[in-house]
Structure 1
Amino acid sequence: MRRRSRAAYQRAAVALLAAALAAVTLAGCADSDSVHADRTQGPTLPPTTSAAPTPAPTSTLRTGTPSNPLRYAALGDSYSAGMGGGNETGPCRRSPHSFPQQLAQSKSIVLSRFPACAGATTADVLQHQIKTLDPQIDLVTITIGGNDLNVSVLPSACAKGESATCKAAVAASVALLQKLPDKLSKTYKAIAKAAPHARILVADYPLFYDLPTIDENTLGSPELSAAVAVDAAVASLDATISDAVAKQRQAGTDIHFVDVSFKGHGVNAKKPWFVLNGFDAYHPTVNGYTRYADTLSALTR
């Protein structure tokens, strides 16, 4: 479940980013290669919602046993494929250290379907991955939405601080948020239809940076402003995913939003859980995927 401190951080980060975009820290965004038609204002972020209780649907998850394990399907993008975990194979960059493979180490779970693929968007899930499901699937996990917003480019675009490239990348990701709720809704509905007896676990994306206390006295540096912008964009993505999951729960689907935190292990930490260099940069390390597996496992039984 989403911790209050994380939810409060998301709301604060989004509010700070909105203020920064409209005022000083990212005010120049509209003067660069902005993706917005209205060049007088910064990008508009969707409102985040508090973690209000939603009706709990009837659980469809049976108890897995070594003799009759849960049939598990792992859908989604590179975070589900395990890119960055090491020993990746094929164009989808699937790793034996991915969180689906780690979950399947349990004797009560067998990974029956693993179509998750690096670079996948909601459209890819609908067109290619849904077809791997069937009514016998008991458990589905998914990470999706990040590539729809191109959030993977944000850390590298903002690595040198508050630059024109950083401003444009953040603005573009925020602009794409408006279309994401409908895409997520269609994706979750399609999963529930294809695997009607499955529990669906939707994991979010961990924030990239470990930030100090954010107030009016700490927003001055370009580096911090860029970090706030990146984390706030990811927080907005996570909030959008959470809201979409809540709507499906209200409709009676056995679907759960799972908040995965890398707090203390961001890209700027002493022991980051993100790959920092190379082709797999800004994807979780083995330790990061272990955090995913540990967090998700509580809802698999």
Structure 2
Amino acid sequence: MSAHFRHIAALGSSFAAGPGIEPLADRAAGRSARNYPHLLAERLDAELTDLTVSGATTETVLDVPQRRMKREFPPQLRGLPAHADLVTITVGGNDLNYAGSMFALGIAGRISSYAWVRPLSRVLPGPQVPNPTPDSVEGAAANLTRVVDAAHGRAPRARILLVDYLTVIGPDTRQSREAPLDEASVDGLRRLGDQVSRVFEIAASRSGAELVRMGERSRGHALGSADPWVTGLPDRLRRLRTLAPFHPNAAGMRAVADAVAEHLEA
């Protein structure tokens, strides 16, 4: 390893926190003890302050408290240690309703396949793929840039990495039991994933933060691929109590940790 890191701090949403991956480190936060920040800290033999919370937005990282499962989490940046020497940041997807829209469309698609629901699905409007405006993308990128700047302010000696979201809907994704999405939804969600990656590119160019391009790296490991790094909708919807569909799986978290470590070695 070209550089030694003593203390890692992780900021972010569910694509960093790892909901559904056992064992959980904090159930209310939807935070796994085997998410990529934990795996990276083990690999680098470093201490870890994991501040990630599922459902986080750039605002709840910056300055807005987040309420989840009857707990209130303070803005994540408040917990960033001044002595951290490596900060990873994976947030912004929820600003564009990335995971939430996949979940809503997947549930709607699965339910509409039930015979007794079909007549209703023809007359009732279902969820739509978000179509963020340029202003929405710009707003998310501006806030992500603010996150980087604030992290530099709180941990001035830290190396800061923006770690992009894994691709969920990729070139091999087709309508299936785990991805019950019509062709238009698949195309729209694929574009939405590209917009999330664009948010990271803009923020990296403006802030000077380093960028780990996980969206690009994981494109061949999306749903429908031979080796997916993400989960789809479980066969039985009752399993939603323990699984997080359309999120990184254990292999995906290992892949992110590997990519970050390789980036640091380069």
Q: Once the 2 structures are TM-superposed, how far is the Cα of residue 129 of structure 1 from its aligned partner?
A: 1.4
Measured after TM superposition, the shift of residue 166 of structure 1 is 4.5
Q: Is the 8 A contact 1:151 1:173 kept in 2?
A: no
Alpha carbons of 1:259 and 1:298: their partners in 2 closer, same or farther (altered >3 Å)? same
Q: Is the 8 A contact 1:155 1:208 kept in 2?
A: no
Other structure's SS at 2:245 match: coil
Number of the residue aligned with 2:11: 75
Which position in structure 1 is the counterpart of 2:159? 199
- Cα offset for 1:111? 3.0
Give 2:48's aligned residue: 112
Q: Name 1:32's counterpart in structure 2.
A: none
Partner of 1:219: none
SS of 1:104's partner is: helix
Aligned-pair distance for 1:270? 4.4
Q: What is the TM-score normalised by the length of structure 2? A: 0.74
| Matched-pair contact (CA < 8 Å) for 1:189–1:248 | yes
Give, in whole Å, the separation in 2 of the partners of 1:72 and 1:270: 33
How far apart, CA to CA, are the structure 2 residues paired with 1:292 and 1:125?
21
Map Cα deviations across residues 96-139 of structure 1 (whole Å, 9 max, x no partner): 21001111112x44133111111111111113211222332110
Q: 1:173 to 1:116 in 2, by over 3 A?
A: farther
Equivalent pair of 2:41/2:48 in contact (CA under 8 Å): no
The offset of 1:177, in angstroms, is 2.2
1:34 paired residue number? none
Partner of 1:245: 204
For these two proteins, the number of residue pairs brought into alignment is 221
**Residue 269 of structure 1: which of 225, 229, 251 is its match?**
225
* Contact 1:84–1:284 (CA under 8 A) maintained in structure 2: no
Query: 2:166·2:248 contact (CA, 8 Å) conserved in 1?
Result: no
Residue 71 of structure 2 is matched in structure 1 by none
Contiguous gaps of at least 5 residues in structure 2: 64-74, 111-120, 174-180, 235-239
Alignment equivalent of 1:226, drawn from 181, 185, 206:
185
- Matched residue, 1:294: 258
Question: In the alignment, residue 245 of structure 2 is paired with which amino acid?
Answer: A
For the aligned residue pairs, the C-alpha RMSD in angstroms reads: 2.6
Quote the Cα distance in structure 1 between the aligned partners of 2:127 and 2:262: 37
Checking the alignment, whether the CA contact within 8 Å between 1:173 and 1:233 is kept in structure 2 is: no
Matched, 1:131 2:78: yes
Correspondent of 2:38 among 85, 97, 101: 101
In structure 2, do the counterparts of structure 1 residues 165 and 192 end up closer, same or farther at CA, with 3 Å as the change threshold?
A: farther
Structure 1 letter corresponding to 2:163: A
Q: Does 1:186 align with 2:142?
A: no
What amino acid maps onto 1:114 in structure 2? D
Structure-1 separation of matches of 2:20 and 2:229: 10
Q: Find the counterpart in structure 2 of residue 122 from structure 1.
A: 58
1:5 is matched with which residue? none
Question: Does the CA contact (< 8 Å) of 1:74 and 1:113 recur in 2?
Answer: yes
SS in 1 for 2:46: strand
Q: Distance in 1 between matches of 2:161 and 2:183?
A: 33
Q: 1:258 aligns with which of 202, 206, 212?
A: 212
* Greater Rg over alpha carbons, structure: 1
Query: Structure 1 residue aligned with 2:3, among 39, 54, 63?
Result: 63
Contact 1:83 1:280 in 2 (8 A): yes
